[in-house]
Amino acid sequence: MFDYFLPQSLRNFVDSIFSPPLSFLQLARSYLNNASLVAGHGISLNNYFGFFGYLPPSMQAVINSLLASIVLLAVLQLVKVIMRMYFAFKDGAKWW
Protein backbone atom coordinates (compact mmCIF):
# COMPACT_ATOMS: atom_id res chain seq x y z
CA MET A 1 0.00 0.00 0.00
CA PHE A 2 2.73 2.46 1.00
CA ASP A 3 5.50 0.72 -0.89
CA TYR A 4 6.06 3.62 -3.25
CA PHE A 5 6.74 6.06 -0.34
CA LEU A 6 9.70 4.18 1.16
CA PRO A 7 13.09 3.90 -0.52
CA GLN A 8 14.39 0.36 -0.93
CA SER A 9 17.26 0.84 1.55
CA LEU A 10 14.87 2.01 4.29
CA ARG A 11 12.52 -0.86 3.57
CA ASN A 12 15.40 -3.35 3.85
CA PHE A 13 16.46 -1.76 7.14
CA VAL A 14 12.95 -2.02 8.61
CA ASP A 15 12.62 -5.60 7.35
CA SER A 16 15.93 -6.53 9.00
CA ILE A 17 14.66 -5.15 12.32
CA PHE A 18 11.30 -6.92 12.28
CA SER A 19 12.38 -10.15 10.58
CA PRO A 20 13.63 -12.04 13.71
CA PRO A 21 10.49 -11.42 15.83
CA LEU A 22 8.28 -12.20 12.88
CA SER A 23 10.09 -15.45 12.13
CA PHE A 24 9.91 -16.39 15.84
CA LEU A 25 6.15 -15.78 15.89
CA GLN A 26 5.68 -17.80 12.69
CA LEU A 27 7.71 -20.67 14.18
CA ALA A 28 5.65 -20.55 17.39
CA ARG A 29 2.44 -20.59 15.37
CA SER A 30 3.58 -23.64 13.39
CA TYR A 31 4.54 -25.46 16.62
CA LEU A 32 1.15 -24.67 18.15
CA ASN A 33 -0.63 -25.90 15.02
CA ASN A 34 1.31 -29.17 15.19
CA ALA A 35 0.61 -29.51 18.93
CA SER A 36 -3.13 -29.09 18.36
CA LEU A 37 -3.02 -31.87 15.77
CA VAL A 38 -1.32 -34.23 18.23
CA ALA A 39 -3.66 -33.28 21.10
CA GLY A 40 -6.67 -33.80 18.84
CA HIS A 41 -5.76 -37.45 18.32
CA GLY A 42 -5.52 -38.20 22.03
CA ILE A 43 -3.23 -40.68 23.75
CA SER A 44 -3.68 -44.39 23.28
CA LEU A 45 -2.71 -46.18 26.46
CA ASN A 46 -2.46 -49.44 24.54
CA ASN A 47 0.83 -48.16 23.14
CA TYR A 48 2.27 -48.04 26.65
CA PHE A 49 0.48 -50.92 28.39
CA GLY A 50 0.05 -53.29 25.45
CA PHE A 51 2.65 -55.73 26.77
CA PHE A 52 0.30 -56.54 29.68
CA GLY A 53 -1.95 -58.19 27.10
CA TYR A 54 0.41 -61.16 27.02
CA LEU A 55 -0.22 -61.92 30.69
CA PRO A 56 -2.94 -64.30 31.85
CA PRO A 57 -6.32 -62.67 32.71
CA SER A 58 -5.76 -63.03 36.45
CA MET A 59 -2.48 -61.10 36.25
CA GLN A 60 -4.11 -58.47 34.04
CA ALA A 61 -6.73 -57.97 36.74
CA VAL A 62 -3.98 -57.51 39.34
CA ILE A 63 -2.21 -54.96 37.14
CA ASN A 64 -5.49 -53.11 36.47
CA SER A 65 -6.25 -53.00 40.19
CA LEU A 66 -2.75 -51.78 40.95
CA LEU A 67 -2.97 -48.98 38.38
CA ALA A 68 -6.45 -47.97 39.59
CA SER A 69 -5.23 -47.84 43.19
CA ILE A 70 -2.25 -45.68 42.19
CA VAL A 71 -4.56 -43.24 40.41
CA LEU A 72 -6.93 -43.18 43.40
CA LEU A 73 -4.08 -42.52 45.83
CA ALA A 74 -2.73 -39.75 43.60
CA VAL A 75 -6.15 -38.06 43.52
CA LEU A 76 -6.47 -38.36 47.30
CA GLN A 77 -2.99 -36.88 47.72
CA LEU A 78 -3.97 -33.92 45.54
CA VAL A 79 -7.12 -33.37 47.60
CA LYS A 80 -5.05 -33.49 50.78
CA VAL A 81 -2.56 -30.92 49.45
CA ILE A 82 -5.35 -28.61 48.30
CA MET A 83 -7.09 -28.84 51.67
CA ARG A 84 -3.83 -28.09 53.49
CA MET A 85 -3.31 -25.02 51.32
CA TYR A 86 -6.89 -23.92 51.97
CA PHE A 87 -6.54 -24.27 55.76
CA ALA A 88 -3.15 -22.55 55.73
CA PHE A 89 -4.65 -19.63 53.84
CA LYS A 90 -7.66 -19.58 56.16
CA ASP A 91 -5.44 -19.57 59.26
CA GLY A 92 -3.28 -16.85 57.73
CA ALA A 93 -6.24 -14.56 57.25
CA LYS A 94 -7.18 -13.67 60.82
CA TRP A 95 -10.25 -11.69 59.83
CA TRP A 96 -11.97 -14.73 58.35
**pTM to 2 decimal places:** 0.48
DSSP for 52-75, please give it.
GGGS-HHHHHHHHHHHHHHHHHHH
pLDDT at 60 over 70: yes
- CB contact burial 15-50 (16+ within 10 A = b; e otherwise): eeeeeeeeeeeeeeeeeeeeeeeeeeeeeeeeeeee
Query: What pLDDT is stored for residue 4 in this prediction?
Result: 66
Angle at Cα 77 formed by Cα 72 and Cα 82, nearest 5°? 130
pLDDT tens track for 1-56: 555 677 788 888 888 888 888 888 899 888 887 776 655 566 666 777 888 888 89
Asked whether the predicted pLDDT for residue 80 surpasses 70, the reply is yes
